[in-house]
Chains A and B, each alone.
Chain A
């Protein structure tokens, strides 16, 4: 079992849809959770970061952590074609220890 799992997609949705991207993990010590967006032929770009459980909202993006289920989500409201990219989750335990990326989910938002 991989330490962090993501559905690779591709996930195709119509413009304006609500998108839910998810990661599951096995290490209960993880406390720091991040989401990166990666456009084709570009480097990952930090999108959201959270600590421990709960929700965090930034514009159209909401990051959610459920540590009891070892499950994190990124929600995108009113999705736009410009949101088409690969989304990588990442997590770590104490200050970067055991830092690991998920393999990524490819999202396509169709106009």
Chain B
């Protein structure tokens, strides 16, 4: 049981380049999340998807777009990368009922992104 899988694990981009971070979960969860983690800032929500076909902005959505491709997959796209987007990006998922409604339960191991 893989849980939440993120690709790639590492990436270096130049300012202005674009890229898509991929995330897939195999737990049949409805809710999926993208976070970024920066030193001293904690984890901050970028985008959230409560179910296939729906997405909502989180705390820091500027410069990002997302696609909920199907129930399993939720991708994060940087259209024109900026040095301020250098961070570690985590995808998470959760069941959409009970205690875990709208709260991240399982995380992937992250994508470390550097933008020069």
Interface size on B, residues (CB 8 A): 20
Interface-side segment among A13-21, A55-63, A71-79, A94-102: A94-102
A43 with B102: CB separation less than 8 A: no
Taking the closest CB of chain A, its distance from the CB of B85, in whole angstroms, is 19
Work out how many contacts link A and B, with CB atoms closer than 8 A.
Answer: 50
A25 to chain B, nearest CB (A): 13
A19 to B44, CA, bound (A): 27
- Once the chains are docked, how many angstroms separate the CA of A12 from the CA of B109? 25
Is B99 touching A92 in the complex (CB atoms < 8 A)? no
Q: Is the CB of A43 within 8 A of B42?
A: no
A103 touches B41 (CB 8 A): yes
Assess whether B45 is interfacial by the CB under 8 Å rule: yes
Known: A43-B107, A44-B43, A103-B41. Is A49-B102 also a contact (CB below 8 A)?
no
In chain B, residues 86-105, which have Cβ atoms closer than 8 Å to a Cβ of chain A?
A: 90, 92, 99, 101-105
Asked if B4 lies at the interface with its beta carbon under 8 angstroms from chain A, I say yes
Residue of B nearest to A34 (CB): B103
- Give A44's nearest chain B residue, CB to CB: B107
Alpha-carbon distance between A108 and B102 when the two chains are bound, in angstroms: 32
* Interface 0/1 of B37-80, CB less than 8 Å to A: 00011111100000000000000000000000000000000000
For residue A43, which residues in chain B have a CB less than 8 angstroms away from its CB?
4, 90, 92, 107-110
Interface size, A (range): 20 to 34
CB of B106 within 8 Å of the partner chain:
yes
Per-residue CB contact flags for chain A residues 76-111 toward chain B (1 = under 8 Å, else 0) read: 000000000000101010011101111110000000
- Is residue A10 contacting chain B, with contact meaning CB distance below 8 A? no
> Which B positions have Cβ atoms within 8 angstroms of A?
4, 40-45, 90, 92, 99, 101-110
Q: A36-B107, A99-B45, A103-B42 are in contact. List 7 more A-B contacts (CB 8 A).
A: A32-B99, A49-B99, A51-B99, A95-B102, A99-B102, A103-B40, A104-B42
- Which of A's residues lie within 8 Å of B, judged by CB? 4, 8, 32, 34, 36, 41-46, 49, 51, 88, 90, 92, 95-97, 99-104
